[in-house]
Structure 1
Amino acid sequence: MSAIPSFLPSTSSVIAILGANVDANSSYLTGTAAAPDVIRAAFHSDSANGFSESGVDLMHNPLITDMGNLVPSSASMSSLSAAAQTIIAHDKRLLTLGGDHSITYPLVKGVRRALCARGETRLNILHLDAHSDLYEYDILNQNNRYSHASPFARILEEGLCSRLVQVGVRTHTQHTRAQAAAYAVETHDMRSISSSSWPPKLSFDGPVYVTVDLDVLDPAFAPGVSHFEPGGLSTRDVLSLVQTFAGDVIASDVVELNPSRDVGSYGMSISGEAPSGVTAMVAAKITKELLARMLESAEAATSSSTST
């Protein structure tokens, strides 16, 4: 699918899934544009099931609609912003499968516009990543301010979030440290994280956008990414954080799976299915837990509005 369908999710659904086939803004390797359908295949793989760890059936759930893929036609990816704005404006929640991390800036912009239109000025971001993605300038010298090294610089420059919390960073430069300090970014970098203090006790006031770059994981757990950065989180670390932080998850994304670098997708299942790679299965697992959190948030919001 090369374009977003012209319809919105059904009135009964509360979450829209959207694929973003983007890798033109990558700084090292391409290949992430193929990831959305690879994650979907892993999500539906016969080797697992469609339930979250909390017992939510995500495979056959009328509250979730998959809207297919969107291939943005410009560097600024305005079509992604428009899609996100439309979905949130119709009181849905959005989970996007990337794609490289450049997609987060236009998605956040669209979510922010929709929230502001209904009088909500708060938008928190929980960002899991090996990299801060705070570069002010184009690190490739290609006159591209929208590369995957810069989405949070653009977000902060435009005041699109009220709070940015970054977890798992282990590649700061002097420039990105200065950027983080200038914009009061809350950082839980790998040097400050210990097993005794994990997961960090995070609580957010107002809507939360969760963005998971798979290279936040140590390469031992997620080899199918473009940038190997040793010393990262485990899969259980990421799942524990997703499951335990306090906040109303309005939107999320899972980015930077590079299927061409993944391992384990060999052989054939007894049903004739080509097995998914290790990192694709990790991405699908994280996607399931994010969907469960978003359904939980939607239920809590409905209960709150009903009681008032």
Structure 2
Amino acid sequence: MSLVVLGIPWDANSSHLHGCAAGPDAIRAALHSGSGNDATEHGLSVVPKLSDLGNLELQNSVGDLDANWADANVITDAVDAQIAAGNRVISLGGDHAVTYPILRGVAKHHPKLTVVHIDAHPDMYDDFEGNPLSHASPFARALEDGCMQRLVQLGIRTATTHSYEQADRFGVQMIGARQLDQFDASTLDGPIYLTVDLDGLDPAVAPGVSHHEPGGLTVREVLDIIDALPGPIVGADIVELNPSRDLVDMTAMVGAKLLKEIAGRMLTVG
């Protein structure tokens, strides 16, 4: 098995601010900066084991739904092709809209997928501002398409009445930031896909996001979640880094740290 890193510079479907298209390169710069090294916390030198595919070429055209569907298809096809070639993909967004087309590609190969989703927001709006591809809607689209058998959301702290209705509709397990002790990773059935929205962390440790939502997870809590995941972990993404909002590259460094630890976990649990 090879681990590949795929940059997806797509933020045309952001609802508040744009800038997440610059996220993949910011995480790469942090990953290779001189302030750290290649090892995970468990001593695995993981960075040399990553094959970086660079960034997808996308139109990223704000307000052009046809162009955005075309971009979504490019993302799905790229992920599909990598898995068909025997690789596992860690994607760097972009906003959270990238996860729906990614999951379409993953589900072609793993029809009984469990998705673990770390976020401040449920991202299950049926129709947000008339855009079915909004970064507020990826899991509604993925659930409608049958891309997973189970969705577990962790760190949620902005759920609306509609979000709870959607969770009931699709049988989603939504665990708030106050209830992390209710998360039992041993109940997860593989294969597992992990998606990390950086605004799931508290903005005190990850300020470089478009939507600041105080009261979030610590970096250590997210690392503990990663370490608890059973295998096989067949893919992952890290999304919503907006470098224009970052402070001294703090959030980019968090993204790079999570990339290393996720990759290490993928390599050690199969």
Q: Does 1:287 align with 2:259?
A: yes
For 2:250, which of 278, 282, 288 is the aligned residue?
A: 278
2:52 corresponds to which residue? 66
Q: Give the CA deviation at 1:89.
A: 1.3
Amino acid in structure 1 at the alignment position of 2:262: L
Alignment correspondent of 1:181? 168
Structure 1 residues 14, 99: closer, same or farther in 2, change over 3 A? same
Q: Verify the 8 A CA contact 1:31 1:259 in the aligned structure 2.
A: yes
1:227/1:125 CA distance change after superposition, 3 Å: same
Query: Deviation digits for residues 208-263 of structure 1, max 9, x if unmatched?
Result: 11000000001101000000001110010001110112231100000000000000
Asked if structure 2 preserves the Cα contact closer than 8 Å seen for 1:199 and 1:237, the reply is no
What is the DSSP-based 3-state SS (H/G/I as helix, E as strand, rest coil) of the residue aligned with 1:283?
A: helix
Q: What's the secondary structure of 1:46's corresponding residue?
A: coil
Letter of the 1:96 counterpart? S
Q: Residues 58 and 17 from structure 1, CA distance in 2 versus in 1: closer, same or farther, beyond 3 angstroms?
A: same
> What residue number does 1:9 align with?
none
Could you say what secondary structure the match of 2:116 adopts? strand
> What CA deviation, in whole Å up to 9, does each residue of 1:130-177 have, x standing for no partner?
000000012x2xx32001000000011111101100000000100010
Question: Residue 125 of structure 1 aligns with which residue?
Answer: 115
Distance (whole Å) between structure 1 residues aligned to residue 164 and residue 86 of structure 2: 37
Identify which range, 182-191 or 42-51, moves more after superposition: 182-191
For residue 47 of structure 1, the aligned residue among 35, 47, 52 is 35
- Which residue number corresponds to residue 62 of structure 2? none
2:194 aligned with 1:210: yes
Instruction: Say which of 223, 229, 237 aligns to 2:207.
Output: 223
TM-score by structure 1 length? 0.82
Q: 1:75 aligns with which of 68, 73, 95?
A: 68
- State the partner residue of 1:109: 104
- 1:72, 1:78 within 8 Å by CA — same for their partners in 2? no
Q: Secondary structure at the match of 1:254?
A: strand
Q: CA deviation at 1:114?
A: 2.8
Q: Which runs of 4+ in 1 moved over 3 A?
A: 198-203
User: 8 Å contact 1:86–1:114 — kept in the other structure?
Assistant: no
Runs of 5+ in structure 2 lacking a partner?
A: 60-66
What displacement does 1:191 show?
Answer: 3.3
Distance in 2 of aligned mates of 1:156 and 1:199: 21
1:144 aligns with 2:134: no
In structure 2, the CA distance between the partners of 1:199 and 1:285, relative to structure 1 (3 Å rule), is: farther
What SS does the corresponding residue of 2:156 show, helix, strand or coil? coil
Give the Cα separation in 2 of the matches to 1:201 and 1:127. Answer: 13
The share of aligned pairs that are identical, in percent, is 46
The 5-angstrom pairing of residues 86-101 of structure 1 reads 86-101=81-96
User: In the superposition, relative to structure 1, how do residues 240 and 198 fare at CA in structure 2: closer, same or farther (>3 Å)?
Assistant: farther
Question: Structure 2 residue aligned with 1:239, among 220, 223, 239?
Answer: 223
Q: Residue in 2 aligned with 1:269?
A: none
One-letter code aligned to 1:159? G
Alpha-carbon separation, structure 2, partners of 1:94 and 1:132 = 23
Q: Shift in Å at residue 199 of structure 1? A: 6.4
Q: TM-score, normalised by structure 2?
A: 0.93
| Residue equivalent to 1:267 | none
Residue range with higher mean Cα deviation, 94-103 or 197-206: 197-206
The alpha-carbon deviation at position 56 of structure 1 amounts to: 1.0
Aligned residues: 261
Shift in Å, 1:92:
1.0
The structure where helix makes up a greater share of residues is 2
- For residues 213 and 30 of structure 1, the distance between their equivalents in structure 2, rounded to whole angstroms, comes to 15
Q: Are the equivalent residues in 2 in contact too, given 1:32–1:99 (CA < 8 A)?
A: yes
AA matched with 2:31? F
SS at match of 1:205: coil
Q: CA RMSD in A?
A: 1.4
CA pair 245-114 structure 1, distance change in 2 beyond 3 A: closer
1:84 to 57, 62, 79: 79
